[in-house]
Amino acid sequence: MTDLDETIDRLVRPIADWPEPGVTFRDITPLLGDADALSAVVDGMVELAEKVGPVDTVLGIEARGFILGPAIAVRIGAGFVPIRKAGKLPSTSLSTSYDLEYGSATLEMHVDAMVRGARVLVVDDVLATGGTMAAAADLVAQAGGVVAGNLVMIEISSLGGVQRLEPIGCAALRTY
């Protein structure tokens, strides 16, 4: 186990039965409040992002992808695009609906958020079933971009989300 694994294990708290019974939510708030831990996580994610090769855009999924994505984008010299929950964007948007392990949701992205042909790195905090990242890939395709890679801090391997993202897959700092 690496120091980064130990840091993530210590500072990401599992919240059982939230937002509904049977789901264990991974709360990264304590990690975000620790400057050294946050810096180490961003450094680790940047290392993984650099393995993807050059990207034009880092796409962050609401809400925790908004925290990690811009830091990674700045470090790798890419722009940042937020993907929001339905009804949160002020301009003409693309949308896609998808299933979660505990319901369904809709994500949106501005139609002009990226240029056609852009190579995109999708970033979020946790990969569970893969539905949210697959929906993000759908928005990238609708906009004429290409998902070059997917990146998360934590993957919950028992839920099989990485298989849903094949052939691209998903890199993770910590896998449970």
Q: Which SS3 state, helix, strand or coil, does residue 43 take?
A: helix
Residue 38 is inside which H or E element, if any? helix 35-52
154 neighbors 119 (Cβ within 8 angstroms)? no
Q: How far, in Å, CA of 37 to CA of 171, rounded?
A: 19
Q: For residues 166 and 69, what is the distance between their CA atoms, to the nearest angstrom?
A: 22
Say whether 20 is catalytic: no
Do residues 108 and 94 lie in contact, with contact meaning Cβ atoms separated by under 8 Å?
yes
Cα 170 to Cα 6, 11, 48, 117, distances in angstroms: 21, 22, 10, 21
Interstrand relation of 57-61 and 119-127 (parallel, antiparallel or unpaired): parallel
CB 87 within 8 A of CB 116: no
Catalytic residue among 6, 20, 50, 101: 101
Q: Is 101 a catalytic residue?
A: yes
Alpha-carbon span 87 to 95, nearest angstrom? 10
Of these residues, 6, 20, 64, 84, which one is catalytic?
A: 64
* Amino acid letter for position 154: I
Catalytic residues: 64, 101
